[in-house]
Amino acid sequence: MFVTRALAEMARLGMRLGSNPLTFGGLAGLGDLVATSMSPLSRNHSVGARLGAGETIEEILATSAQVAEGVKTTPPVLALAEREGVEMPIAEEVGRVLRGESTPLESVERLMTREAQSEGHGIIEP
C-alpha cells in the first residue's frame, strides 16, 4: 500500500513540474521505488530499517560509510512540494521521522488513519 501511495506522490509532484506521467510506471519511477524501498541492499532501505528498530538518524549517519540519498533529498523535496502545492503525506512523515519529530510507528499510524482518497487523486483527477 505504501509503495502505491508513494508512487502516486512522486507522480503528483513530477506531473506538476511537467513530467510525462508514463515515466513513473517504468524503471525510473516504479522500478527505482521498489528497489529502493524493498531491497536490503538499498542504502535507503537500510536507514529505514534502522530507524524502525529505534536508532536515531544521528546514530545511523555516524556509523554508516555510505550515503542514503533519501536522507538528504527529503527536505528539498518537501520544500518543492510545498512551493508547488502538492500533497505528499508519506514524504512529510519521512521528514518528521528524520527530524526526530515522530517515531516510525507514530508516522505509520497517522498515514493509516488519514481520510481515504481515490487512487487518482491529483494525478488523473483534480
pTM: 0.89
Q: Is residue 120 part of a domain?
A: no
Q: Is residue 117 part of a domain?
A: no
Nearest-angstrom CA–CA distance, 111 and 122:
17
Q: Is residue 33 part of a domain?
A: yes
Range of the domain at 54: 2-112
122: region left, alpha or beta (phi > 0 left; psi from -120 to 50 alpha): left
Q: Is residue 123 part of a domain?
A: no
Q: Is residue 68 part of a domain?
A: yes
Number of domains in the chain: 1
Average pLDDT over residues 26-43: 93
Q: Is residue 100 part of a domain?
A: yes
Q: Is residue 96 part of a domain?
A: yes
Helices and strands: H and E segment counts in the chain: 7, 0
Q: Is residue 126 part of a domain?
A: no
The string of pLDDT tens digits covering residues 75-106 is 999 999 999 999 999 999 999 999 999 999 99
